[in-house]
């Protein structure tokens, strides 16, 4: 059990992190708070992911997925419930936003059930229909499609 943080590190994910990442993500997907991710999906997109490691244990993850030449999506943000509300999610999203800037993205969006969290990071709620059709390819695989009640949020990173 993590009771005291000694060494916290935000870093790019590695293949040996995938099983723990899936467990953390699926903790929330079982509660229908986010989409489940398969091992193969995480492995295939491992270069998109960042993790938070505390004392050598992965406790959270988040991905930045490039959608188009100037647009990226933040997805699969999940933190071990034992470590929730300690700033880890903010640090993971910040790493993704920095990555987006470095890649030259103009905007980053997320689809979320918790828009308030993203609003604290200067994301703005937008109409999902304003997002390019390209983003809907992932939605087609979702069991909630077309009755999704996620909220779209967007942030400019290189205006």
Phi and psi at residue 147, to the nearest 5°: -95, 45
Structure tokens given for 55 = 């004392």
What pLDDT is stored for residue 1 in this prediction?
Answer: 45
Is the model's pLDDT at 104 over the cut of 90? yes
What pLDDT is stored for residue 30 in this prediction?
Answer: 86
Task: Provide the residue ranges of all domains of the chain, joining segments of one domain with +.
Answer: 8-156
CB atoms within 10 A of CB 43: 11
Dist CA 29 CA 25 (whole Å): 6
Is the model's pLDDT at 147 over the cut of 80? no
Please identify, in words, the CATH class of the domain defined by 8-156: alpha beta
Given a contact cutoff of 8 angstroms between Cβ atoms, the answer to whether 62 and 74 are in contact is yes
Predicted confidence band of residue 145 (pLDDT cuts 50, 70, 90): low
This prediction's pTM:
0.89
Q: Which residues contact 41 (CB under 8 A, 6 or more apart)?
A: none
The pLDDT tens digits for 46-95 are 999 999 999 999 999 999 999 989 999 999 999 999 999 999 999 999 99
């Amino acid at each position: 059990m993590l009771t005291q943080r000694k060494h916290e590190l935000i870093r790019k994910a590695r293949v040996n992190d995938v099983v723990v990442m899936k467990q953390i993500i699926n903790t929330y997907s079982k509660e229908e708070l986010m989409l489940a991710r398969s091992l193969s999906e995480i492995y295939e997109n491992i270069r998109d992911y960042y993790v938070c490691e505390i004392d050598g244990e992965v406790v959270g993850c988040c991905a930045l997925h490039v959608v188009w030449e100037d647009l990226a999506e933040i997805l699969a943000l999940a933190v071990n419930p034992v470590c929730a509300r300690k700033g880890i999610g903010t640090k993971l999203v910040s790493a993704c936003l920095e990555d987006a800037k470095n890649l030259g993205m103009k905007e980053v969006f997320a689809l979320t059930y918790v828009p308030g969290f993203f609003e604290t990071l200067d994301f703005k709620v937008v109409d999902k229909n304003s997002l390019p059709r390209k983003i809907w390819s992932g939605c087609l695989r979702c069991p909630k499609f077309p009755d999704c009640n996620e909220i779209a949020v967007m942030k400019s990173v290189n205006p």
